[in-house]
Amino acid sequence: GESVGLHLPTLSVQEGDNSIINCAYSNSASDYFIWYKQESGKGPQFIIDIRSNMDKRQGQRVTVLLNKTVKHLSLQIAATQPGDSAVYFCAEIPNYGQNFVFGPGTRLSVLP
């Protein structure tokens, strides 16, 4: 069964296309950001992180972009695969704290 998602924004992409998932964060004092992937019935899984002194970071098939001016974070997935279907969360940590603050999530649906 689904743990989340009844009211989540959904992004549908064709297999093989690139996906871009966006996140607006709330705290201009946040200096560390993470993207998590959550598959149905499982806990969130770390994908990639970025610190506020960077504006871009690349991993395997994934790229995170950070625009501090407009407090916007994006996750780009290249050549999207069926296994990428999941809910994606961004999380931020203010530089004065230790606790993660999570966004509501976006559901990515990969079409065959």
Partner 1 sequence: NAGVTQTPKFQVLKTGQSMTLQCAQDMNHEYMSWYRQDPGMGLRLIHYSVGAGITDQGEVPNGYNVSRSTTEDFPLRLLSAAPSQTSVYFCASRAAGGGRDTQYFGPGTRLTVL
How far, in Å, CA of 97 to CA of 65, rounded? 23
Question: What are the φ and ψ backbone dihedral angles of 84, each rounded to 5 degrees?
Answer: -85, -10
45 Cβ contact list (under 8 Å, min separation 6): 36, 37, 38, 39
Q: Of 30-59, which residues contact partner 1 (CB under 8 A)?
A: 32, 34, 36, 41-46, 49, 51
Under rule CB under 8 A, residue 99 binds partner 1: yes
Name the one residue in this structure whose structure tokens are 């998932």. Answer: 21
62 forms part of the interface with partner 1 (CB under 8 A): no
Judged by CB, which is closer to partner 1: 92, or 112?
Answer: 92
Binding-site ranges for partner 1 (CB under 8 A): 1, 3-8, 32, 34, 36, 41-46, 49, 51, 89, 91, 93, 97-100, 102-105
